[in-house]
Structure 1
Amino acid sequence: MIILYVVSTLKRCGPTNQLFGLIKNLDRSRFTPVVLTLSPEPSESRWDDFVALGIDVQSLRLGRVAGVLMGGRALRARLAVIKPVLIHSQGIRADSLCVWAVPPSVVHVATLRNYPFKDYVMSFGRVQGGLMARWHLFNLRRVHAVALVSNAIYGMLDGRLEQARVIQNGVDVDRYYKVDSAGRDALRNRLGLPLHARLFVSTGHLDPRKDPVTAIDGFLAAARQSDQFLVLGDGTMREELKSRYRQSGQVRFLGRVANVQEYLQASDYFISASLAEGLPNAVLEALACGLPCLLSDIAEHREILAGSSLQHMLFATGQAAALAECLAGLNDEAYEQARGVASAIVANSFSAAHMSAQYQELYAELQS
Structure 2
Amino acid sequence: MPTETRILTVYYKHKPGGFCKRLQMKIHAYLEQGWKVHYIAVEPFPYKHKNLTPHILTTPFKNHDTLFFWIYFFALAPWFTAWIAYREKVQLLSIFSLTYACLCAPAKWVTGAPLLTFIRTLKEKKEFSFGRSQIIFMIERLMEKAGVAISDSLVANSESIKVELAKLGNTKKDIQILYNNINELNIDKAEQRKWVLKEFELQEDSFLVVTTGLLIPRKNLHCFLKAVAKVESNKVVLILIGQGPLLHSLQVLAKQLELKVIFTGWREDVLDILPGCDLFVFPSHLEGLSNSILEAMACGLPCLVSDISENREIISRPEQRFPVNQAETLTAMINGVLHSNEKLEIFRNSTVADRKRFIFNWEEKIIKKAEEVIKRSPKAH
Q: Distance in 1 between matches of 2:219 and 2:9?
A: 28
Amino acid at match of 2:7: I
Q: Distance in 1 between matches of 2:201 and 2:260?
A: 15
The alpha carbon displacement at 1:303 in A equals: 0.7
- The residue that corresponds to 1:36 in the other structure is 39
- Judge which range, 267-276 or 158-167, deviates more: 158-167
Q: Deviations over 1:17-66 (max 9, x none)?
A: 1122334445844x61514132125xxxx622xx26x6514132333454
- The residue that corresponds to 1:271 in the other structure is 281
Q: Distance in 2 between matches of 1:91 and 1:61?
A: 19
User: After TM superposition, which residue ranges in structure 1, 4 or more long, deviate above 6 angstroms?
Assistant: none
Is the Cα–Cα contact under 8 Å of residues 29 and 363 in structure 2 kept in the other structure? yes
User: Please, which of 84, 89, 94 is the counterpart of residue 90 of structure 2?
Assistant: 84
- The residue that corresponds to 1:356 in the other structure is 363
Gaps of 5+ in 1: none
Change (3 A) 1:35 1:345: farther
- The residue that corresponds to 2:239 in the other structure is 230
- The residue that corresponds to 2:177 in the other structure is 166
Is the Cα–Cα contact under 8 Å of residues 274 and 296 in structure 1 kept in the other structure? yes
Q: Distance in 2 between matches of 1:194 and 1:139?
A: 52
- The residue that corresponds to 2:65 in the other structure is none
Structure 2 residue 263 is matched with structure 1 residue 256: no
Structure 2 residue 161 is matched with structure 1 residue 153: yes
Is the Cα–Cα contact under 8 Å of residues 210 and 280 in structure 2 kept in the other structure? yes
Q: Secondary structure at the match of 1:116?
A: coil
TM-score when normalising by structure 2: 0.82
- The residue that corresponds to 1:342 in the other structure is 351
Amino acid at match of 1:329: G
Aligned identity (percent) is 21
Is the Cα–Cα contact under 8 Å of residues 23 and 356 in structure 1 kept in the other structure? no
Q: Distance in 1 between matches of 2:234 and 2:123?
A: 41
Change (3 A) 1:58 1:26: closer
Is the Cα–Cα contact under 8 Å of residues 121 and 127 in structure 1 kept in the other structure? no
Change (3 A) 1:134 1:93: closer
Is the Cα–Cα contact under 8 Å of residues 217 and 320 in structure 1 kept in the other structure? yes
TM-score when normalising by structure 1: 0.85
Amino acid at match of 2:217: P
**Alignment root-mean-square deviation, CA:** 2.7
Equivalence map 1:41-190=2 (5 Å):
41=44, 47-48=46-47, 51=48, 55-63=51-59, 64=69, 65-91=71-97, 93-103=99-109, 105-118=112-125, 121-123=128-130, 124-158=132-166, 160-161=169-170, 162-171=173-182, 173=183, 178-190=187-199
Change (3 A) 1:260 1:223: farther
User: Please, which of 260, 280, 297 is the counterpart of residue 287 of structure 1?
Assistant: 297
Q: Distance in 1 between matches of 2:135 and 2:79?
A: 30
Q: Distance in 1 between matches of 2:127 and 2:148?
A: 16
Structure 2 residue 207 is matched with structure 1 residue 198: yes
Q: Distance in 2 between matches of 1:154 and 1:23?
A: 23
Q: Secondary structure at the match of 1:363?
A: helix
Q: Distance in 2 between matches of 1:34 and 1:78?
A: 12
Amino acid at match of 1:276: L
The alpha carbon displacement at 1:109 in A equals: 0.7
Q: Secondary structure at the match of 1:245?
A: helix
Is the Cα–Cα contact under 8 Å of residues 207 and 278 in structure 2 kept in the other structure? yes
- The residue that corresponds to 1:8 in the other structure is 12
- Judge which range, 242-251 or 320-329, deviates more: 242-251
Change (3 A) 1:325 1:140: same
Q: Distance in 1 between matches of 2:328 and 2:135?
A: 33
The alpha carbon displacement at 1:110 in A equals: 1.1
Q: Distance in 1 between matches of 2:371 and 2:302?
A: 37
Gaps of 5+ in 2: 60-68, 377-381
Q: Secondary structure at the match of 1:328?
A: helix
Is the Cα–Cα contact under 8 Å of residues 8 and 91 in structure 1 kept in the other structure? no
Q: Distance in 1 between matches of 2:99 and 2:165?
A: 20
